[in-house]
Amino acid sequence: MLDFLQVAFDRIFSPELQDVACRWKIDLVKVKSLGVTLAKIKVLYDEAEVKQLTSDDVKRWLHRLKQLLYDAEDILDEYATELLRLKLESTGPHQTQQVQEFKRFGSKVKEIIEKLKSAEQQGVALGLNSRLGPGSSRHMVFSERPPTGPFAISSKVFGRKEDKDEIVKWLFETPSSTDNNFSVLSIVGIGGSGKTTLAQLVYNDPMVENAKSYFHLKAWVCVSEDFDVVRLTKEILEAVTQSSQPFTSLSMLQMKLKDALCGKRFVFVLDDMWNQNSERWDALTSVFAFGERGSKILVTTRSKSVSKIVRTNPDYDIKGLPEEHCFALFRRHALIDGNSSDTKQKMKAFGEKIMKRCWGLPLAVMTLAGLLRGKSKDSEWDDILKNEIWDLRNSEILPSLMLSYHHLTPPLKRCFAYCALFPKDYVFHKIELVMLWIAEGFVQPSPEGRKRLEDIGSGYFDELFMRCFFESSDCSSTFEKFHPFGQPTRLNHGEDLFSKLSYEFHVRSFFESSNDTGSRFVMHDLIHDLAQYVSGGIYCRREDDPCDNPSQVLTTTRHLSFLTKYCNVDAMESEAMKRVRTLLDLTNHLQYSSIKELLPTMKCQFQFIRVLRVRCDNILELPYEIGMLKHLRLLDISFCYIERLPDSITSLVNLQVLVLTGCWKLKELPKNMGKYLVNLRHLLLPVGMIHNDSLDQMPLIVVGNQGREAFVANFMNMPHLLGLRLRWSAYESENSFGDLGRDEKVEEDVLDQLQPHTNLEVLWIQHYGGTRFPSWIQDPHAFSKLENVSLLNCHKCIFLPHLWQLPLLKHLVISGLNAIKIVGSDKFSSRYGSSSNKQFQSLETLHIRSMGEWEQWLEQGDGQFPRLYKLSINLCPKLKMLIHQFPALDELEIGDCEDLKNLPQHLDSVQQLRIKNCQKLVLLPSLLCIKTLTLDSCTYRWRMDKNSASTVRLSQ
């Protein structure tokens, strides 16, 4: 069965819901019949996914089938939702009415089964074979990429000299200590970026070609998708011996290759590698160890996962060509020089504009140049320039990028296509996508439910990043490039509301300032075009254009985003909107007149809505009808002026994420939220100035003072709440909300009462105004599952909690705790255990930043930080020295620590060391494994320990 539908079936037939069905005598026979029908049609679906690229009939059939599958998922979700509501609610008239609903569901299922059977017959008539086994159609349509060879015409290559020289230099570098006689470098980039061409330039560089006394043997092999160890071994053997080999047995081929390599240094190029199976890689390279020390292998690949398998040096990420080189390449292939001077000038002007769309990809440049070759009319060039999604079917860029898409698993395909909802240049956070994917049902649970959905979704994101569908962004503002209306005034510059959300689970985002780019990502323009191409009308984005008509939303649209502050309610009431699952406001500033009319109509118009994100300063209340959106998983109404949530919100039994950031007037939450919202995983609440009155009157209550509110929630009764983010309002000014307006004791009392359930895994505290942290935060017995902790801008705290006792703590961020002078003091030892215990036994990453008064870091006995692999310390100007216990440290970053004089003496495991603006630090310790050393703004003369590795990349 299709993966996303399997999740719905597993939910219905879970033991807890089966008990409900048995108790209320609800017949699920038709649901089982639907499962049988879907299992049959899955094979046709898989085959059609490939055949649609060459058959418009198959493409249309697949599009209709997808709509039926969405309908099937909706009815299955209704089944599961109503069963869950029956389980949660007591017996009464309402439950009797719910049971009657299942009869209506049964007729719906019967109708869908009939439609699916009809679709199956139509698919078979189109040549799709339901009797084929799973995966049998995987390679039916895609033609193999033409084999590559080692030669490139260098005169036709532009802008790669520096890249070539750097890799050639690597080829001749003296190898550092390694277990193998050979080392590997991966050239990584998306399809069409010029990886193969660069490898050809390196392979044929005169320095390499004439160094036959150094590299005795050379071989070029086109690996492609089929990583056949026998074939590849044979091709390498034939290349180094320059003779045909009759052998077909791997053992015989390896024996011959061993003899050929023994005592000789080689350079091999493995082009277009896709393999992610480490056993196959080891099988291929096992014989390479017989070559002479200093042998090199150059791999080209689209996936960073491949470079992990081959245990490469730091990847060589190929960059886009500069604009001038792009245009030179474009001129050559568009044959501009052969035209008249007037035409040449016009074509040059158009060409320069078009080049901006190519993002420096040589293949894109050559493709567009080919499309424009022979076209001399302005209108012909203008059409191409204005066409947002170029004619990919007739463009060589489509197979290049579509091949990467084709290799994604079905869940990853849906996650990638979802990105079509965002505009080009949209800079997003990892957790923003992960939480949306989870809410949409794209993230598949692990077979035994042992992994959190957040972790699985994070793996999806990492996989797309590794395959170059996403790339890190250097943009300082999430909406700066495209947002026409600006952000709400309460946001810091460059801070997106979802960036607040992102701190909840992605630990590397916890400590980042708004200027940090480490947690921000973007899609290449051509990758974005691919997302739109594969979205097939299911994902629709409406932008603020006077000519744009929201009523043009297709009847097939299931997910809708918009960047217009005006929402056409009449258009929203169209038939096309009734099946929409996603309504995503990307403006953060929707007009009140629109949202006031929109919300009450939602029950009728958005029956299947799962994600609702609308924000408006002037909305004062949510309508009761919000509780009728029973499929809703994510509700984000940040920065609304609502004073309370309607009691009907407790009917949203599927709700996973509730975002109320910036709802400063909110005074009350419904009493039974903890009881009925059993799937709530993330709750973001505004925390601010408080009084300590009536804290125990209600299970969930909001109390406030002068418009600055705080939630005091019974989080201890929320076992599904895995992440908790507590953010007090920042110190904005002395007059409006400074130290004089805050009561340290009150804030301490409230934080004491905010103790969450013991299932908590992530805790994030920012702008807390107390002088101490609560005792519960350091209780290793109560919080044995806590993995991620971030303490940010808690300026008055003078002692750190004893977090070293938490057994599973993996990621810790401490930033802006300016009152702390000593870290590691035993003066205030914990009641939960002795400081002699092994400390931070699970900690993997530690980030400390902006600790203006921190002077000392005290040793606390042996056994500290046994697993810490990344340590970052920045903006700690009074810190004088570090402790010495980092046995597993791989990355060390020190920045703006002006008083720091020495580094730990034993950093034997460190591979990456970055030091910036540490004026008194003059001696580097032993660095036996160092690969990358970066020194920046360090004016003293440096001395390196004589035992340090000699091969480092040094930039200053």
Give the tens place of pLDDT for each residue, 883-934. Answer: 877 888 999 999 999 999 888 877 888 888 889 888 888 777 777 778 788 8
pLDDT band at 260 (very low <50, low <70, confident <90, very high): very high
Q: At what angle do helices 56-88 and 93-125 cross, to 10 degrees?
A: 160
CA atoms within 13 A on the CB side of 120: 16
Query: Above 70 in pLDDT, residue 749?
Result: yes
Angle formed by the axes of helices 278-285 and 229-241, nearest 10°: 30
Distances (CA, A) of 879 to 400, 459, 851, 920, 939: 52, 37, 9, 11, 19
- At residue 709 the predicted structure's pLDDT band, cuts being 50, 70 and 90, is very low
Cβ pair 431, 509 in contact under 8 A: yes
| Predicted pLDDT of residue 266 | 96
Tell me which residue of 846, 789, 855 sits closest to 820, measured CA to CA. 855
pLDDT reported for residue 835: 45
Residue 206 and residue 737: Cα distance in Å, rounded? Answer: 68
pLDDT at position 710, please?
Answer: 39
Please name the amino acid found at residue 125. Answer: A
Give the number of other Cβ atoms within 10 Å of residue 881's Cβ: 15
pLDDT at site 544 = 59
Distance between CA atoms of 131 and 625, rounded to whole angstroms? 47
- Give the pLDDT band (50/70/90) at residue 308: confident
State both tokens at 142: 């895609």
pLDDT at 864: 82
Q: What torsion do the CA atoms of 885, 888, 894, 899 make, to the nearest 10 degrees?
A: 10
Can you give the pLDDT at residue 40?
86
Q: Report pLDDT digits (tens) over 605-644.
A: 678 899 998 877 667 778 888 888 999 999 998 888 888 8
Flag the least confident range among 296-310, 365-379, 525-539, 723-737. Answer: 723-737
- Going from the C-alpha of 460 to that of each of 50, 62, 457, the distances in angstroms are 22, 25, 5
Q: State the CB neighbour count (10 A cutoff) for residue 652.
A: 24
Q: Name the band, by pLDDT with cuts 50, 70 and 90, for residue 692.
A: very low
Do the beta carbons of residue 633 and residue 611 sit within 8 Å? yes
Rounded to an integer, the average pLDDT of 851-865 is 83
The answer to whether 562 and 580 have CB atoms below 8 angstroms apart is no
Q: Note whether 537 and 554 are within 8 A (CB).
A: yes
Strand partners, 371: none
Q: What pLDDT, on the 0 to 100 scale, is given for residue 489? A: 26
Q: For the purposes of burial, counting CB atoms within 10 Å of the CB of 670, is it exposed (0-12), middle (13-18) or buried (19 or more)?
A: buried
- Cβ–Cβ < 8 Å for 815, 850: yes
| Average pLDDT over every residue of 314-341 | 77
CB-based contact 713:680 (threshold 8 Å): no
Of 565-579, 583-597, 707-721, 768-782, the range with the lowest mean pLDDT is: 707-721
Residue 211: which of 153, 169, 154, 239 has the closest Cα? 169
What is the rounded distance in angstroms from the CA atom of residue 625 to the CA atom of residue 677? Answer: 17
For 767-911, list the strands marked E by DSSP.
Answer: 788-792, 811-815, 822-823, 845-849, 856-857, 870-874, 891-895
Give the Cα separation of 365 and 352 in Å (integer): 11
How much is the pTM?
0.64
Q: Kindly state the tokens that stand for 246.
A: 């009759």
* 878 Cα distance to chain centroid: 36
pLDDT-based confidence at residue 662 (cuts at 50, 70, 90):
confident
Higher pLDDT, 355 or 868: 868
- Please name the helix (run of DSSP H) or strand (run of DSSP E) that holds residue 351, with its range, or none: helix 341-355
Tokens 């609440």 map to which residue?
Answer: 685
Integer angstrom CA distances of residue 857 from 191, 815, 886: 48, 15, 14
- In angstroms, the CA 591 to CA 685 distance is 23
CB 892 within 8 A of CB 871: yes
Mean pLDDT of the chain: 76
Q: What is the mean pLDDT of residues 376-402?
A: 57
Average pLDDT over residues 587-596: 54
- β pairing state of 788-792 and 856-857: unpaired
Q: State both tokens at 231.
A: 């074939």
In this predicted structure, what is the pLDDT of residue 429? 86
Residue position matching structure tokens 């360090």: 938
Give me the torsion for CA of 921, 925, 928, 931, rounded to 10°. 0
> If you write DSSP's letter for every residue of 372-436 in order, what string do you get?
HTT---HHHHHHHHH-SS--GGGSTHHHHHHHHHHTS-HHHHHHHHHGGGSPTT--EEHHHHHHH
For residue 269, the cross-strand partners are 220, 298
pLDDT, residue 90, reads 59
CA angle 306, 312, 317 (to 5 degrees): 75
Question: Beta strands 856-857 and 891-895: pairing type?
Answer: unpaired
Predicted local distance difference test score (pLDDT) of residue 600:
57
Q: How many CB atoms lie within 10 A of CB 47?
A: 26
Please state, in angstroms and as integers, the Cα–Cα distance from residue 388 to each residue in 482, 557, 563, following that order: 16, 19, 17
* Per-residue pLDDT at 517 exceeds 50: no
Tokens of 201: 């330039």
pLDDT of residue 686: 66
297 neighbors 246 (Cβ within 8 angstroms): no
| The pLDDT value given to residue 665 | 81
The mean pLDDT of 77-104, rounded to a whole number, is: 75
Q: What is the mean pLDDT of residues 294-321?
A: 87
Distance CA 868, CA 891 (A): 9
Query: How close are the terminal C-alpha atoms of the chain, in Å?
Result: 56
Q: Out of 50-64, 446-460, 682-696, 735-749, pick the least confident.
A: 682-696
Specify the residue for token string 């408006």.
616
Question: How confident is residue 376, by pLDDT bands cut at 50, 70 and 90?
Answer: low
Whole-number Cα distances in Å, 242 to 38, 238, 245, 260, 262: 54, 5, 9, 11, 16
Residue 747 has pLDDT above 80, yes or no: yes
Helices first, then strands: H and E counts in the chain = 29, 31
Phi, psi of 528 (to 5 degrees): -65, -40
Q: Please give the pLDDT value at position 285.
A: 93
Average pLDDT on 90-107 reads 69
Q: Could you give the dihedral angle defined by the CA atoms of residues 880, 885, 886 and 887, in that order, rounded to the nearest 10 degrees?
A: 150
- As a whole number of angstroms, the longest Cα–Cα distance in the chain is 90
Q: Tens digits of per-residue pLDDT, 216-257?
A: 999 999 887 778 999 999 999 999 999 988 888 999 999 999
**Rounded CA gap, 747 and 769, in Å?**
6
Burial of 12 (0-12, 13-18, 19+ CB in 10 A): buried
How many CB atoms sit inside 10 A of residue 99's CB? 13
Q: What is the pLDDT of residue 690?
A: 30
CA distance 711 to 727: 10
Looking at residue 565, its pLDDT comes to 61
Mean pLDDT, residues 290-307: 91
Q: Please check whether residue 330 is in contact with residue 161, taking contact to mean a CB–CB distance below 8 angstroms.
A: no
CA distance 216 to 233: 18
d(CA 555, CA 326): 41
Tokens representing 285 are 């390279």
Query: Does residue 849 register a pLDDT over 70?
Result: yes
Residue 733 has pLDDT above 50, yes or no: no
- Residue 812: phi and psi, rounded to 5, are -130, 130
Of 488, 490, 487, 486, which Cα lies nearest the Cα of 736? 490
The residues pairing with 239 across neighbouring beta strands, listed in sequence order, are none
**How far apart, in whole angstroms, are the C-alpha atoms of residue 689 and residue 746?**
9
- Please tell me the distance from the alpha carbon of residue 32 to that of residue 280, in angstroms, as a whole number: 41
Q: Which of 395, 462, 439, 345 is nearest to 652 (CA)?
A: 439
When pLDDT is cut at 50, 70 and 90, the band that residue 145 belongs to is: low
* Predicted local confidence at residue 666, as pLDDT: 81
